[in-house]
A and B are shown apart, each in its own frame.
Chain A
Amino acid sequence: MSTLTFRNVSLRYPPRAGRAGADEKLVLDGINLQVASHELVAVIGRSGSGKTSLLNLAAGFLEPTAGTITVDGVPVDGPSADRAVVFQDDALYPWLDARDNIALPFKLKGVPLAERRARAEQLLARVGLADAGDRRIWELSGGMRQRVGIARALAAEPRFLLLDEPLGALDALTRTRMQEFLLRIKAESGAGALLITHSIEEALLLGTRIVVLSPNPGRLTAEIEAGFNAEVLNGASVAAVKASPIFKRMHAGLTGLIHASAEEEIAA
């Protein structure tokens, strides 16, 4: 059981120490957020609200200007396999086939070739791509690429999965299928997850908790719990869950919250 914690985290851009200029922008302001292993925390907000910056901070790609980010009390110091990232544009390596992409984290740890290929093969089977190991990246569809990307992140055996709009580039049909897939894979892995998305529907369906990020500067303005995640895992169909009155009501509520944050910004 692990916890990823943001405590009073702020981020200024460009991040130059000791030089407050007019060109500086406060991207994130006073973020407090916790993600535990059993959770999938979905972050929603309009473009420019700092969602991706929040994920980059968690990943260790960016350093906070103020505040601390910790994993089980230990401050985050740069990226690590603790917090594996799945990117919107898959970020798979085209010079490797699907299997070797997934095997890369094992290679980085020094696992011998035969063993890492065998373990990558198991992960391929787990994400439903048992026969696709030899395929080159450009021979895979968008959905398959994201499955490979997720398998590669799992190969790092992370405590947290950081999902940066992983389904954002997929067509609607594939996306619905991948949402359910993502939930199951996340539950099986036992890792906590931070999901960045601009889709309210996706946040509501996948998140155990949904936080709303409002822009200029990015602040967490609302936080709600949701249980649709568990319903899907217990076998309810995604379509039925999305069609339920309570889902629609919460969807409308969240939409209102995001709009409210937008109007506040205009008024200010």
Chain B
Amino acid sequence: MTLSTDIETLPQVAEKGEAERPPKARPLPVAVISAITIGVIIPAWGLASAYALVSPVFLPSPRQVVLALYNLVVTGFVDATLAEHVGASLYRIFGALIASILIGIPAGIAIGTSRLGRGILDPIVEFLRPLPPLAYLPLIIIWVGIGEASKITVIALSMLPSIILSTSAGVRGVSKDHVNAARSLGASRRQVLREVVLPSAVPSILTGVRIALGAGWTTLVAAELVAATSGIGFMIQSAAQFLVTDIVIAGIVVIALIAILLEYVARQIERRLVPWAAHR
């Protein structure tokens, strides 16, 4: 998350007599400070491995990691190239995302609009929400086997609570005037739901999807570490077993990059789909 609670970035209150003071040096932008952080960590890492402060088995040099990454792209590791591993992982996460959207949005609407729906679904969601997905992974493997279905199920389950809760929050947060206006213009209950409640819940649903993607990605890698024959998590696990640390680190970097990319794409979709969310 990029929530900034940095006091320096808060707008400063203009003080009296400011004009008389000597002009202060402009504070460094946050992005520059972040760049410096990265610019320190990577050379430090390079130095640590160059002077063999840490055994290269534990900490390969940055150059080795870049090389490993290149080899991953070109020749691959454990019977698949990087693209194939990433593809397998993305297939799982998007399969799970579609499943959890198809289940989660109707469930969220049911919780948000009906007492009965809330009574039935609330305990299930509240039970599922705090559970670490890896806690129920063994059970899911017993139930649906070790193939793709079990991984997609676990990921979907880890995504469901945030989609359900954000949908029901969005549905409940609809403006009373918006609903009343539609009713006084002749809308039936069903029409109110379709024309007013759902559109006004879209920003909240998209936020839920974004959070779900983050949660799902974490679960995915963990699930692949436990049981898989392809995928980025599996690749890291295999590399670790052979002590190929450079591939482990390269894999971690790839996971981070994909997570950042997913977040970015989700934000862009949000901006495209609900430009009005900022103007409510």
Does B79 have its Cβ within 8 Å of any Cβ on chain A?
A: no
Which one of A85, A94, A153 lies within 8 Å of B279 (CB-CB)? A94
Closest to B183 in A: A79
Q: Which of A100-108, A113-121, A255-263 contacts B (4 or more CB under 8 A)?
A: A100-108
> Are A138 and B276 also in contact (CB < 8 A) when A59-B184, A83-B184, A105-B186 are?
yes
Closest to A83 in B: B184
CA distance A162 to B175 in the complex (A): 19
CB distance from B185 to the nearest CB of A (A): 4
Does A78 have its Cβ within 8 Å of any Cβ on chain B?
A: yes
CA distance A94 to B276 in the complex (A): 6
Chain A 1-20 interface residues, beta-carbon cutoff 8 Å to B: none
Which one of B186, B195, B202, B276 lies within 8 Å of A156 (CB-CB)? B186
Question: B276 and A162: CB pair below 8 A?
Answer: no
Does B178 have its Cβ within 8 Å of any Cβ on chain A?
A: yes
Provide the residues of chain B in CB contact with A79, threshold 8 Å.
180, 183-184
Provide the residues of chain B in CB contact with A33, threshold 8 Å.
none
Does B199 have its Cβ within 8 Å of any Cβ on chain A?
A: yes
Does B181 have its Cβ within 8 Å of any Cβ on chain A?
A: yes
Chain B 183-204 interface residues, beta-carbon cutoff 8 Å to A: 183-188, 191, 195-196, 199-200, 202
Provide the residues of chain A in CB contact with B279, threshold 8 Å.
94, 136-138
CA distance A78 to B175 in the complex (A): 19
Question: B181 and A87: CB pair below 8 A?
Answer: yes
Does A211 have its Cβ within 8 Å of any Cβ on chain B?
A: no
Chain A 76-91 interface residues, beta-carbon cutoff 8 Å to B: 78-81, 83-85, 87, 89, 91
Closest to B202 in A: A95
> Are A95 and B185 also in contact (CB < 8 A) when A85-B180, A108-B195 are?
no
Number of B interface residues, CB 8 Å? 23
Does B182 have its Cβ within 8 Å of any Cβ on chain A?
A: yes
Does A60 have its Cβ within 8 Å of any Cβ on chain B?
A: yes
B266-280 to A contact mask, C-beta < 8 Å, 1/0: 000000001110011
Provide the residues of chain B in CB contact with A80, threshold 8 Å.
184, 186
CA distance A59 to B176 in the complex (A): 14
Question: A95 and B276: CB pair below 8 A?
Answer: yes
Closest to B280 in A: A94
Question: B187 and A91: CB pair below 8 A?
Answer: no
Question: B180 and A61: CB pair below 8 A?
Answer: yes
CA distance A108 to B275 in the complex (A): 24
Provide the residues of chain B in CB contact with A156, threshold 8 Å.
184-186
B236-280 to A contact mask, C-beta < 8 Å, 1/0: 000000000000000000000000000000000000001110011
Does B177 have its Cβ within 8 Å of any Cβ on chain A?
A: yes
Question: A162 and B187: CB pair below 8 A?
Answer: no
> Are A87 and B177 also in contact (CB < 8 A) when A79-B184, A136-B276, A153-B185 are?
yes
Which one of B184, B274, B275 lies within 8 Å of A81 (CB-CB)? B184
CA distance A77 to B181 in the complex (A): 16
CB distance from B191 to the nearest CB of A (A): 6
Which one of A78, A108, A138 lies within 8 Å of B185 (CB-CB)? A108
CA distance A89 to B178 in the complex (A): 10
Provide the residues of chain A in CB contact with B178, threshold 8 Å.
91, 93
Question: A104 and B195: CB pair below 8 A?
Answer: yes
CB distance from B254 to the nearest CB of A (A): 37
CA distance A89 to B279 in the complex (A): 14
CB distance from B179 to the nearest CB of A (A): 9
Provide the residues of chain B in CB contact with A95, threshold 8 Å.
199-200, 202, 274, 276
> Are A93 and B196 also in contact (CB < 8 A) when A87-B177, A108-B191, A137-B276 are?
yes
Closest to B203 in A: A95
Chain A 112-156 interface residues, beta-carbon cutoff 8 Å to B: 136-138, 152-153, 155-156
Given A79-B183, A79-B184, A108-B186: 10 more A-B contacts, CB < 8 Å: A61-B183, A81-B186, A91-B178, A91-B181, A93-B199, A94-B279, A94-B280, A136-B275, A138-B276, A152-B181
15 A-B pairs with C-beta separation under 8 A: A79-B184, A81-B184, A81-B185, A87-B177, A89-B177, A91-B175, A91-B181, A93-B200, A94-B276, A95-B200, A95-B202, A104-B185, A104-B195, A108-B188, A156-B184
- By a beta-carbon cutoff of 8 Å, the part of chain A in contact with chain B is 59-61, 78-81, 83-85, 87, 89, 91, 93-95, 104-105, 107-109, 136-138, 152-153, 155-156, 162
